[in-house]
C-alpha cells in the first residue's frame, strides 16, 4: 500500500506533498528533521492522506496535488476545513 500525504508546517502554515509506503515512519522522518525540504519548517502535521495500491498510482496523484488544479482543490479543502486526522506514533 502506498500513501499520498499532505503536511502543513505549524511554523509557517505552508504545505508539503509527498508519497510513501510507510506513512508513520515518513511522518517521523519529517518531524525529526531527516527530510531536507521540510527540516526548517518543523513541526509538521498531517492534514490529508490517500491510499493507493501501486507506487505508480501514488506518484500520479502526488503530481496532481502539486499541480495548479491540485493546489486549487487543496485551497477549497483548506477553506472548508479538513477533517482531523489522528496518527499515533507509538
Is residue 60 pLDDT above 50, yes or no? Answer: yes
Query: What top-level class would CATH report for the domain 2-80?
Result: alpha beta
DSSP letters, 14-30, are -EEEEEES-HHHHHHHH
Domain borders along the chain are 2-80
Report the chain's mean pLDDT, rounded to a whole number.
Answer: 89
What pTM did the predictor assign?
0.86
Kindly tell me the sign of the dihedral angle through the C-alpha atoms of 10, 15, 16, 17.
positive
pLDDT in tens, 15-25: 999 999 999 99
pLDDT in tens, 76-87: 877 876 665 655
Amino acid at each position: 500500500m502506498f500513501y499520498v500525504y499532505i503536511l502543513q508546517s505549524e511554523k509557517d502554515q505552508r504545505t508539503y506533498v509527498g508519497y510513501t509506503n510507510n506513512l508513520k515512519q515518513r511522518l517521523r522522518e519529517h518531524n525529526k528533521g531527516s527530510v531536507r525540504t521540510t527540516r526548517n519548517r518543523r513541526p509538521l502535521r498531517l492534514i490529508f492522506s490517500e491510499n493507493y495500491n501501486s507506487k505508480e498510482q501514488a506518484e500520479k496523484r502526488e503530481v496532481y496535488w502539486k499541480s495548479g488544479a491540485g493546489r486549487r482543490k487543496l485551497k477549497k479543502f483548506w477553506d472548508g476545513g479538513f477533517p482531523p486526522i489522528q496518527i499515533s506514533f507509538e
